[in-house]
């Protein structure tokens, strides 16, 4: 048994090293100057934070970060609000064709997002939302996965609680707000973190609907660095990359406990 | 105080009819128990009264007003659920007061009412706790407090005691009964436990497969069961039954035992019923001899088991009897205490007592 444990841990450590190497190496490069990068050193001889300063000076890093933050927060709020309301309807409200509509909801999960990209782009274009935070966020508000995740959670709430509130004359919204949401904190946090991270890391859609520096998000910003002359300066690029990773790491550490609970919750039901 | 009237109430789920034409009036301030085996439709009926389940046909009147289409909150009633349905993230106090704002009460009034309800139910020390920090009995009390705090004149309870252990159940039984009397509530109480119904209710309705078997006072159901279902459901242990055929000498069971029940009827076949406590040790007259299959000495009483016409019968003798299995004992049953049911299971009324006594004098 102990031998098996040792084996498992060795495997885990090895995979952790493999997983972490790119990030660690990127961090290491971000502290080197251009010459040293090309020499192929693993660790910087004279670590300096000059590249970070350069990242802020040579490209509008602040604008990109701010754009990304706004868009990610907007999508997160939009997804949580819409998914929880939809899930509430699917669990607590009786209407005709409920099962069918839910199946349709789930079916949209099978359609790759790229397939709907062109119609989405045309819609956003005709709304005049190119280069705006709305164009970047609104198309992602409806999330079948989020609805599904929350529906599973809401179904664990005893239906009698809903009936008791009906008898007491408590409105549906109040029940939703004061009972359903508070007892579903864990999956709501899970969904929020998931939404934020997915949006933060989004690349293709922002590339399509933004073409000014004012509207770009960080992921595009990085790509832009490569096409500019800055590209050869890997130290600066990596410094920018590390800067971009930081918010996601903060969020992950903050939400880790909730996230683990939330993602494994459906597993034992 | 409000009365509730059910007129030809039915309920169907698709093709299956679960409630078949129920007619009953529940008087204001009455403790009315709905009893029956599981799946008999008693919970459905309660939920129809509460407005949680739609009414397929018939009329429900609350205080004379047709209430079929009313929302649950418009019916001015409170309900206690089997699993209590407490809000797990709220304190006991919040649980009790949540929803009172809909009655137009200020925060101060809400608090006052909450304290009053908590005091009535002995919850004052637990107001700041969450439900999971309470025992089963305390949770039950919170659910009761939540029901009475609304001051609704009608209270519905759906098997509220089934999650408690036997000792606590007995205690809560009398507490609920006292509470109902004190507040003058019109109570409709659903249970599958006939002991609860017998001990608490002013009147009982016994349901089976969506049909009313009998409505009446607990002792009426016990002493004069309308049919064999009522006879075998009410009472613990239930009434002993045996098929009998009419003979010249009396009514004969398949094993040759003869009974002389006090009933005038021409039917050739019937079911005879005798309550366990009405089978007594014989002094002079012997109704039948019983070969004991089992004996349970409970201290205050002794339960004897034996065969009559292929059915296991139980007799309850007061006191402690030093008997052994296989022993033959003489039993006596007063003919006046035997019940007779026709082949459809309906009770055959006994001869009028007065006339019977008069005849006895003649003999």
Distance in Å, alpha carbon of B93 to nearest chain A alpha carbon: 15
B39-92 pLDDT, tens digit per residue, is 899 999 999 999 999 999 999 999 999 999 999 999 999 999 998 999 999 999
A221-263 pLDDT, tens digit per residue, is 887 776 665 556 788 888 888 988 888 888 888 877 766 665 5
Neighbours of A4 (CB within 10 A): 8
Predicted pLDDT of residue A180: 94
Contact A168 B71 (CB under 8 A): no
Contact A158 B98 (CB under 8 A): no
Contact A166 B102 (CB under 8 A): no
A99-136 pLDDT, tens digit per residue, is 999 999 899 889 888 888 999 999 999 999 999 999 99
Phi, psi of A98 (to 5 degrees): -60, -50
Contact A160 B77 (CB under 8 A): no
Contact B89 A182 (CB under 8 A): yes
A172-201 pLDDT, tens digit per residue, is 999 999 999 999 988 898 899 899 999 999
Is residue B107 pLDDT above 50, yes or no?
A: yes
Predicted pLDDT of residue B336: 86
* Closest chain B residue to the Cα of A185, Cα to Cα: B89
Residues 200-259 of A with CB under 8 A from B: none
B54 Cβ under 8 Å from any chain A Cβ: no
Mean pLDDT over all residues of chain B? Answer: 90
B52 Cβ under 8 Å from any chain A Cβ: yes
B69 Cβ under 8 Å from any chain A Cβ: no
Which chain A residues have a beta carbon less than 8 Å from that of B88?
A: 183
The total number of residues written for chain A in this structure:
269
3-class DSSP state for residue B162? coil
Predicted pLDDT of residue A224: 76
Contact B85 A164 (CB under 8 A): yes
pTM of the model: 0.81
Q: What is the mean pLDDT of residues B218-232?
A: 93
ipTM value: 0.83
- From the list B50, B83, B99, which residue is nearest A170 (CB)? B99
- Planar angle of CA B292, B193, B72, nearest 5 degrees: 165
* Closest chain A residue to the Cα of B90, Cα to Cα: A179
CA–CA dist B37, B207 (Å, integer)? 8
CA–CA dist A81, A76 (Å, integer)? 9
Q: Best interface-test mutation with B: which of A161, A164, A173 has the largest number of B CBs within 10 A?
A: A164
Q: Beginning with the edge strand found earlier in the chain, give each strand of the sheet holding B211-216 in spatial order.
A: B77-80, B154-158, B186-191, B31-35, B203-208, B211-216
A115 Cβ under 8 Å from any chain B Cβ: no
* Closest chain A residue to the Cα of B76, Cα to Cα: A167
Predicted pLDDT of residue A267: 43
Q: What is the mean pLDDT of residues B286-303?
A: 91
CA–CA dist A263, A190 (Å, integer)? 7
B83 Cβ under 8 Å from any chain A Cβ: yes
Residues 125-164 of A with CB under 8 A from B: 158, 160-161, 163-164
Contact B102 A167 (CB under 8 A): no
Residues 165-194 of A with CB under 8 A from B: 165-170, 178-179, 182-183
CA–CA dist A120, B360 (Å, integer)? 99
Which chain A residues have a beta carbon less than 8 Å from that of B71?
A: 166
- From the list B77, B99, B103, which residue is nearest A165 (CB)? B99
Mean pLDDT over all residues of chain A? Answer: 87
Copy the structure tokens of residue A90: 């699917």
The band of B317, judged by pLDDT with boundaries at 50, 70 and 90, is very high
B151-163 pLDDT, tens digit per residue, is 899 999 999 998 8
Contact A167 B50 (CB under 8 A): yes
């Amino acid at each position: 048994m102990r031998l098996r444990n040792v084996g498992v841990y060795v495997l885990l450590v090895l995979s952790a090293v493999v997983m972490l190497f790119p990030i660690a190496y990127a961090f290491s490069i971000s502290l080197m100057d251009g010459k040293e990068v090309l020499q192929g050193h693993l660790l910087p001889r004279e670590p300096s934070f000059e590249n970070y300063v350069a990242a802020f000076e040579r490209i509008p890093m602040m604008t990109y970060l701010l754009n990304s933050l706004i868009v990610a927060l907007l999508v997160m709020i939009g997804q949580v609000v819409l998914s929880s309301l939809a899930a509430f309807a699917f669990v607590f409200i009786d209407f005709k064709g409920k099962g069918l509509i839910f199946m349709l909801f789930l079916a949209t999960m099978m359609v790759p997002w790229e397939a709907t990209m062109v119609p989405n782009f045309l819609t956003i274009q005709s709304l005049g939302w190119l280069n705006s935070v709305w164009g970047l966020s609104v198309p992602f508000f409806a999330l079948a996965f989020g609805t599904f995740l929350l529906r599973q959670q809401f179904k664990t709430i005893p239906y009698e609680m809903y009936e008791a509130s009906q008898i007491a004359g408590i409105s549906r919204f109040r029940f939703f707000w004061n009972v359903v949401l508070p007892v579903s904190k864990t999956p709501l946090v899970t969904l929020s973190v998931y939404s934020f991270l997915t949006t933060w890391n989004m690349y293709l859609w922002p590339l399509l609907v933004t073409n000014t520096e004012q509207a770009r998000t960080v992921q595009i910003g990085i790509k832009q660095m490569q096409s500019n002359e800055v590209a050869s300066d890997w130290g600066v690029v990596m410094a920018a990359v590390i800067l971009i990773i930081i918010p996601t790491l903060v969020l992950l550490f903050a939400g880790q406990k909730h996230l683990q609970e939330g993602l494994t919750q459906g597993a034992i039901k | 105080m409000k009365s509730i009237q059910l007129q030809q109430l039915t309920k169907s789920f698709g093709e299956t009819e679960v409630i078949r034409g129920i007619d009953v009036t529940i008087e204001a301030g009455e403790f009315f128990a709905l009893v029956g085996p599981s799946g008999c439709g008693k919970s459905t009926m309660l939920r129809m009264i509460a407005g949680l389940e739609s009414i397929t046909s018939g009329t429900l009147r609350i205080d004379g007003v047709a209430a079929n289409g009313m929302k649950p909150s418009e019916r001015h009633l409170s309900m206690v659920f089997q699993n209590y349905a407490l809000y797990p993230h709220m304190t006991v106090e919040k649980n009790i007061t949540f929803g009172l704002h809909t009655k137009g009460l200020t925060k101060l009034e809400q608090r006052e009412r909450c304290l009053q309800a908590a005091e009535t139910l002995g919850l004052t020390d637990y107001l700041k706790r969450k439900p999971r920090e309470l025992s089963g009995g305390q949770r039950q009390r919170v659910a009761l407090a939540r029901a009475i705090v609304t001051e609704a004149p009608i209270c519905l309870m759906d098997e509220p005691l089934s999650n408690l252990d036997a000792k606590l159940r007995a205690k809560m039984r009398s507490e609920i009964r006292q509470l109902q009397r004190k507040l003058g509530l019109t109570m409709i109480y659903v249970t599958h436990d006939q002991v609860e119904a017998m001990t608490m209710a002013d009147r009982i309705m016994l349901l089976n497969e969506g049909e009313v078997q009998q409505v009446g006072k607990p002792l009426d159901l016990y002493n004069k069961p309308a049919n064999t279902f009522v006879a075998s459901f009410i009472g613990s242990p239930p009434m002993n039954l045996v098929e009998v055929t009419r003979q010249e000498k009396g009514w004969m069971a398949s094993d040759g035992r003869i009974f002389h029940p006090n009933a005038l009827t021409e039917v050739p076949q019937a079911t005879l019923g005798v309550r366990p406590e009405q089978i007594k040790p014989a002094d002079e007259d012997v109704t039948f001899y019983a070969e004991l299959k089992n004996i349970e000495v409970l201290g205050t009483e002794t339960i004897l088991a034996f065969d009559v016409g292929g059915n296991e019968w139980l007799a309850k003798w007061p006191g402690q009897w030093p008997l052994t299995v296989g022993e033959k004992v003489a039993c006596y049953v007063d003919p006046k205490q035997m019940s007779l049911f026709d082949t459809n299971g309906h009770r055959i009324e006994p001869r009028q007592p007065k006339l019977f006594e008069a005849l006895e004098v003649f003999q």
